[in-house]
């Protein structure tokens, strides 16, 4: 069996887990438990563009808690972000710094 690596949430880091289904007779069958991820389009208001990522249901709740994608990217350190979000955070911070200089 092959683990589907694209089934990974960029917000929470949830990914496929490998385990066993155990019957009443204690027979063990290999199984993969996949996270509830969906391809979601997220809008960055500061950058003025839409990006598409694989996000789990828990990840959507996390984004709501932080107040959206822009606030989430500003509050999280680069070390704690998924590698797909690094270019987006870099562009966001550059845009914020350029707006602060103009003001």
Cα-flanking dihedrals φ and ψ of residue 18, to 5°?
-105, 140
Q: What is the pLDDT of residue 85?
A: 93
User: pTM for the whole thing?
Assistant: 0.83
Name which of 50, 75, 60 is nearest 14 in CA terms: 60
Interior angle at CA 68, CA 64 and CA 69, nearest 5: 125
Q: Could you report the per-residue pLDDT of 24-43, keeping only the tens digit for each?
A: 999 999 999 999 999 999 99
**Both tokens assigned to 71:** 């606030």
Q: What is the pLDDT of residue 6?
A: 75
Q: Could you report the per-residue pLDDT of 43-80, keeping only the tens digit for each?
A: 999 999 999 999 999 999 999 999 999 999 999 999 99
**Both tokens assigned to 46:** 């500061």
Q: Judge contact between 6 and 54, C-beta under 8 A.
A: yes
Q: Judge contact between 10 and 53, C-beta under 8 A.
A: yes
Name which of 89, 90, 56, 48 is nearest 72 in CA terms: 89
Q: How far is CA 12 from CA 6, 7, 24, 102, in A?
A: 14, 12, 34, 35
């Amino acid at each position: 069996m092959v683990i589907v690596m694209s089934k990974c949430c960029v917000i929470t880091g949830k990914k496929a887990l490998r385990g066993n289904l155990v019957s009443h007779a204690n027979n063990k069958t290999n199984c993969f438990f996949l996270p509830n991820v969906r391809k979601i389009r997220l809008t960055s208001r500061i950058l003025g563009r839409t990006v598409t990522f694989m996000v789990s249901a828990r990840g959507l709740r996390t984004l709501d808690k932080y107040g959206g994608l822009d606030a989430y990217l500003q509050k999280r350190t680069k070390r704690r972000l998924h590698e797909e979000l690094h270019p987006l955070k870099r562009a966001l911070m550059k845009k914020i710094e350029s707006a602060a200089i103009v003001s």
